[in-house]
Structure 1
Amino acid sequence: MYRLIASDMDETFLGAGHRLPEANVRALARMRELGVLFVPCSGRPYQSIVASFSGVDPELMRDTYVISYNGGFVNRFDEDEPIISTTLDRTIAEGIYSFALERRQCVHAYTPSGRILIQFAPEFERQKVEGIAGVEFIDDSWSDLSFAGDEPIVKMILMDPDFSVAKRLGAELGERFAGAPLDITYSSNRYVECMPAGVDKGTGLAHLARVLGIDMADTIGVGDSANDLAMIQAAGLGVGVANVTDDVRPWCDLVLDTDCEAGAFEELVRRVIEPEHA
């Protein structure tokens, strides 16, 4: 019997403009009734994820957890101190930043306090991240990571609106950092995500399941993009929303008929969770 559903946020649980569909709010209530734990699992910082639920009845998120930074942090919901945390090696973070600086490529640096520091952001990206908690645009005159102050860097992102360019940048980064403790993945059809080696949403889910004493066979992982793949593969049931990308779709045990805009989680509850409780 499934006891925990871990879900990506943007383009999976949330629609355009980081909007939470009403159908998914109703699904949260039904999962709560049935005793199934819903765990947001995102590349965003913990604080930004929690902010997405600001309009939701707090009772629906009581006693749950948040997996943030693509599995780098695990927090209890509404507790800022993580129970698990991992950060990037500073030398590697500086190297990724230098790579972006050489190309004046849009770069995001994420810190444990929830800051998302963005430099060289075109108007396209500024509009895309509008409304996300923690975003700060850094003046393009900066030439090192000192704009992050004393904080460690949890993860870094390069952005290009042409996904083929983003993938080429990821391949070049992979060559430059071959053998280094760095993993690279992709999301949102524009992001190159740079994480500490061995950190992904699948390991984040596994860590949390172990803390809670839940067998991985009793978990569901829901996503839409490449940075969700490890979670989809690790979970007992890997689920894609209808807008799941073509590279991830073949790995899903189930692809829902509903996309992120309409809110796919009522369908998931109806097709998978409720039959177990009939």
Structure 2
Amino acid sequence: MYELMLSDLDETLLVNHHVPEFNVEAIKKARKHGLKFVPATGRAFNMIPEILKEIGTYDQEDEYSICFNGALIVENKNSKILNFKGLSFDVAKMLFDKARDYDVCVLVFTVDMCYIYNADPDEVQRKKDQKAPFVVVEDYNIDNLKNDRIAKILYQKKDMNYLKKIAADLKDDIENKACASYSSNRYLEFNAPGVNKGYGLKWLASYLNIDLDKTIAIGDNYNDVEMIKQAKLGVCVACGDDEIKSIANYVTKLDYNQGAVKEVIEKFILEEE
């Protein structure tokens, strides 16, 4: 029986930034059957309290969240940080300075705040919709963040080919210093080396003494690939790219807004029971 399920949020669990009722009900049933359901997101922990309330794990002991693509692992009760693996300031500054050469909006995430540079109005609105604590910064400088815990840096542009070109340009610069991934068809994300949602899955499963053979992971985008690979049952949502579908054990018939998470729970948790 599966004991731990990780789920991406955007374009997987959520519809319009909320958990739809069909997913809420499926998660409640799965939890009664002993499944631990854990959000695994690129978002900060302080961006997901409403989502945790909707799935019933907000401020609960022995309930967990994986944030910043695995850089932050939290027990929900009292927002207890169990593990953090962020970017060094020197690497963050290097990535920040490199962004000057490109036409991108830059988002620097510390544990507590999102700082937006070269602000794209659409991205600012997106952060408002996500209820993210954020600051739009006019001065292009991050020296004031030297003593902060920097979780990740994002380059944002609604042009994935352009972002992939940037990643190729920076390949040598980030080798052994940071790792790159993509999400939401608008972000090039940089985390610390070895940090990804697969890392988060392995860390949390070990912490909970759950065998990886009893894990499920579901997602739709490139920052979900490593957890899809690591889980015993790796699932890609119907809307995912063919490349991601090709590495998954199962591809949902329903899209995220039709109940992809519900489908997986019913097929692999509730039917199994």
Residue 202 of structure 1: aligned partner: 198
Amino acid of the residue matched to residue 164 of structure 1? Answer: N
Query: Are the counterparts in 1 of residues 58 and 76 from structure 2 also a CA contact under 8 Å?
Result: no
After superposition, residues 178-217 of structure 1 pair within 5 angstroms as: 179-217=175-213
CA, structure 1 residues 222+55, in 2 after alignment: closer, same or farther (shift >3 Å)?
closer
Counterpart residue number, 1:121: 119
- Is 1:111–1:155's contact at 8 Å kept on the other side of the alignment? yes
Post-superposition Cα deviations, 1:65-123, rounded to whole Å, max 9, x if no partner, equal 1011111111111332311111101111001111123435201111112x121111222
Q: Which amino acid aligns with 2:65?
A: V
**Aligned twin of 1:53:** 52
For residues 139-158 of structure 1, the aligned pairs below 5 Å read 139-140=137-138, 142-148=139-145, 150-158=147-155
SS in 1 for 2:229: helix
CA contact under 8 A between 1:5 and 1:39: conserved in structure 2? yes
Of all paired residues, the percent bearing the same amino acid is 31
Distance 1:252 1:79 in 2: 35
Structure 1 CA distance for aligned equivalents of residues 76 and 149 of structure 2 = 22
1:12 matched to 2:12? The reply is yes
Alpha-carbon distance change, 61 to 22 in structure 1, aligned in 2, over 3 angstroms: farther
Work out whether 1:79 is the aligned partner of 2:78: yes
**Is residue 90 from structure 1 mapped to residue 95 from structure 2 by the alignment?**
no
Structure 1 residues 1-278: aligned runs within 5 Å: 1-15=1-15, 17-57=16-56, 63-103=62-102, 105-113=104-112, 115-140=113-138, 142-148=139-145, 150-177=147-174, 179-277=175-273
Q: Distance in 1 between matches of 2:59 and 2:240?
A: 26
The alignment's C-alpha RMSD in Å is 1.9
- Structure 1 stretches of 4+ with a deviation exceeding 3 A read 54-62, 146-150
> Which blocks of at least 5 consecutive residues in structure 2 are unaligned?
none
Ranges in structure 1 where 5+ consecutive residues have no aligned partner: none
Counterpart secondary structure, 1:82: strand
Q: Aligned-pair distance for 1:147?
A: 5.0
Normalized against structure 1, the TM-score is what?
0.92
Query: Does the 8 Å CA contact 2:218/2:261 hold for their aligned counterparts?
Result: no
* TM-score normalised to structure 2 length: 0.93
Structure 1 stretch displaced more, 168-177 or 4-13:
168-177
The answer to whether the 8 A contact 1:23-1:264 is kept is no
Q: 1:96 is matched by which residue type in structure 2?
A: L
